[in-house]
Amino acid sequence: MASAEELDLIPEHPPHARAFEAFEHVLHQIKHTILASRHDWDKHEPKMWSLARETADHDLVAFDIKDDLVAIRTAQTAYGVIIFGKIRIRAIKLDAHEQLAPGAVEKDVHGKIKVEMKNGKVNDDLYGFIHVRIHDPPGDAEEDVKFHSIFTDEGKDKDGENNGFYRAIQPNSKPLEFFNDHRLGASFDMASSKKTQQKAQQPPQDLLTKWATRLVIGLLVVAIGSWLDAIKSRWYVFDPTFLHELAQDAIRSAPHENDTASMIQHIVANLTATYPSTQKQIKINPYYAEPSEWVFNNAGGAMGAMYLIHASITEYLIIFGTPLGTEGHTGLHTADDYFNILTGEQWAFRPGALEKERYTPGMVHHLPRGTAKQYKMHEGCFAMEYARGWIPLMMPFGLIDIFSSTLDLPTLYHTVRITGREMLGNLLIGKI
């Protein structure tokens, strides 16, 4: 990398046609770097861009090369020409002391920021400037021009230590001089260094307090979780044995073994009679025959359709299945799950087992909380699924495939609509 001693910089002079073309080619990078530098420095040393403190981002970079590139210095090297440019920032007006002048910027009918003239020329003593370095390799191709950096002035004393002076926007009196890489990396390194120093200087008692606080919060979360886990059963209404017997009775009462519709009708009619709405003990959704009450469910790689019979904070009861067959991961849940097979077959398997588990109509597949399996539902398999525990904790598993895979937003809407309606309806009658 070239140094100031190695370069023979031509004195500052107005830009020529090739300079205009070169800077125009990297204009987007210049503006992007200015805004990125400003936002980065503002996080840890606002003095650097303090002259722009009242200037919006879009006004800060509201310059164009043709009108606002006012001067350049160049140096020839073996690998091309290094060009230092001085770009006027129209939105930054300075007073006689080179401090930010009060007053809002004025714009013409086209939205361009006006500049003040003196003797037929722009009065550059009133404006701030950005110093930019680019590299123009040998040849005439504009696409070869490379943006290098912008100048951010960090005043240093004779020992190389910063003297508290920071300035990215220069007055007109500041001459174009050689500078090397002052891109974001330097400021990022400074921020990291400051954070490291602050951490190293942090008193031991502060670190002890911080970790003690985290430990207390962690223990509190565990205690609340244990307490909620201990009391959840007081809101259970359904009994797994009763539901298993109901599923078996529905199978026996069906005209034939694959009459899923009559089985669902039998289950819903029995539950509605057992838990009438007049008792206000639990809310049952009786609209199994309405297509709008059925929704797709993609979870753990498996796909089927479900009809929600009941949903509350601690229990849900659904009909789930598919005439096509599916397989996937059961998920790892904090609730117990009871899968009562009505039609078809379900197979299951857990790591370490060398033979499959097989569940046929009338059987129940119990998945204790905290366990997971691979499962497969064969063609025409439908089941009545009952889960008991803190049901909201199961919802991410049931919905995440919509965001990561299917993007089926109508299904998301109907799932949330039906589940929310049933949970709210149960909460209104005191069913948690």
pLDDT digits (tens, 9 = 90+) for 403-418: 999 999 999 999 999 9
**pTM, entire model:** 0.55
Return the structure tokens found at 119: 């003797």
Phi, psi of 310, deg, nearest 5 = -150, 140
Least confident window among 73-87, 105-119, 164-178: 105-119
Percent of the chain with pLDDT strictly greater than 70 = 92
Q: What's the angle, vertex CA 325, arms to CA 408 and CA 422, rounded to 5? A: 50
pLDDT greater than 80 at residue 95:
yes
| Other beta carbons less than 10 A from residue 339's beta carbon | 22
| Residue 270 dihedral angles phi and psi, to the nearest 5° | -65, -45
Closest among 432, 371, 54, 395 to 236, alpha carbons compared:
432
pLDDT bin (cut points 50, 70, 90) of residue 98 is confident
- Residue 216, both tokens: 């207390």
User: What average pLDDT does the segment 203-218 reach?
Assistant: 83
3 state SS for the chain: CCCHHHCCCCCCECCCHHHHHHHHHCHHHHHHHHHHHHHHHHHHCHHHHHHHCCCCHHHHCCCCHHHHEEEEEEEEECCEEEEEEEEEEEEEEECCCCCECCCCCCECCCCCECCCEECCEECHHHEEEEEEEEEECCCCCHHHCEEEEECCEEEECCCCCEEEEEECCEECCCCCCCCCCCCHHHHHHHHHHHHHHHHHHCCHHHHHHHHHHHHHHHHHHHHHHHHHHHHHHHHCCCCHHHHHHHHHHHHHHCCCCCCHHHHHHHHHHHHHHHCCHHHCCCCCCCCCCCHHHEEEEEECCEEEEEEEEEECCCEEEEEEEECCCEEEECCCCCCEEEEEEEECCEEEECCCCCCCEEECCCCEEEECCCCCCEEEECCCEEEEEEEECCHHHHHHHHHHHHHHHHCCHHHHHHHHHHHHHHHHHHHHCCCC
Residue with the bigger pLDDT between 193 and 162: it is 162
CA 54 to chain centre: 30
**Which amino acid, residue 241?**
T
Residues 6+ apart with CB under 8 A from 69: 15, 19, 20, 23, 85, 86, 87, 88
Q: What is the mean pLDDT of residues 189-213?
A: 60
pLDDT of residue 202: 53
**For the packed helices 27-44 and 184-201, what is the interaxial angle rounded to 10 degrees?**
10
Cα 71 from Cα 65, distance rounded (Å): 11
pLDDT score at 270: 96
Partners of 386 in the beta sheet? 317, 338
Residue 284 has pLDDT above 50, yes or no: yes
Give the Cα separation of 307 and 276 in Å (integer): 19
Q: What is the dihedral of CA 174, 175, 179, 184, to 10 degrees?
A: 40
Mean pLDDT of the chain: 90
Q: What is the pLDDT of residue 198?
A: 52
Predicted confidence at residue 192, as pLDDT, reads 45
Sequence-separated (6 or more) residues with CB below 8 Å from residue 342: 247, 250, 251, 260, 263, 264, 319, 321, 361, 382, 383, 384
Confidence band for 3, pLDDT divided at 50, 70 and 90: confident
CA distance 422 to 310: 7
Q: Which has the closest alpha carbon to 388: 425, 338, 329, 429?
A: 338
Pick the CATH number of 236-428 from 2.60.120.10, 3.40.190.10, 3.30.1600.10, 2.60.120.680: 2.60.120.10
Supply angle C-alpha 416, 419, 422, rounded to 5: 140
